[in-house]
Amino acid sequence: MNRLAAILTPGQVLVDVDASSKKRVFEQAGLLFENQNAIARATVTDNLFARERLGSTGLGHGVAIPHGRIKGLKNPLAAVIRLSQPIPFDAPDDEPVNLLIFLLVPEAATQRHLEILSEIAELLSDRELRERLKTETSAAEVHGLIERWQPLKSVA
């Protein structure tokens, strides 16, 4: 199982979400983590914006990996939000984003955090898979695609 699938539950995948801006989609993520994981939505959105101020987490090709460190969090958490309409995200290719994979990690989770981010970037670099993640109609199928994906190199 890949690192993302290990921390992504089916309930943490939303498709066709209406959000007109980065602020709105971060609020949606905050609400999702609050409802599913009992983390205050303001904590989530504040941490996501703090990281975003360092530079956009948009990768290009319509995808982004917003992430943040959460004080008191015991284990990494993930969520996938696909938007019904792409939004501006300051990505390197200036393309708007409609697929976001959110990652929250404990405050001190440096190496594990980087390993998970690296695997998510690898997953999103697969053009065919990325397009399927952006077009599948159900959240369950999006989750299944992520669950079945295997990274090229497995680190023991």
End-to-end CA distance of the chain: 12
Q: Show which residues are catalytic.
A: 67
- Burial of residue 41 (CB within 10 Å: 0-12, 13-18, 19+) is middle
Q: Which amino acid is at 61?
A: H
16 to each of 37, 73, 83, 136, how far by Cα in Å?
Answer: 22, 28, 5, 10
Q: How many CB atoms lie within 10 A of CB 141?
A: 15
3-state SS class at 69 = strand
- Burial of residue 133 (CB within 10 Å: 0-12, 13-18, 19+) is buried
Rg of the chain in Å (alpha carbons)? 14
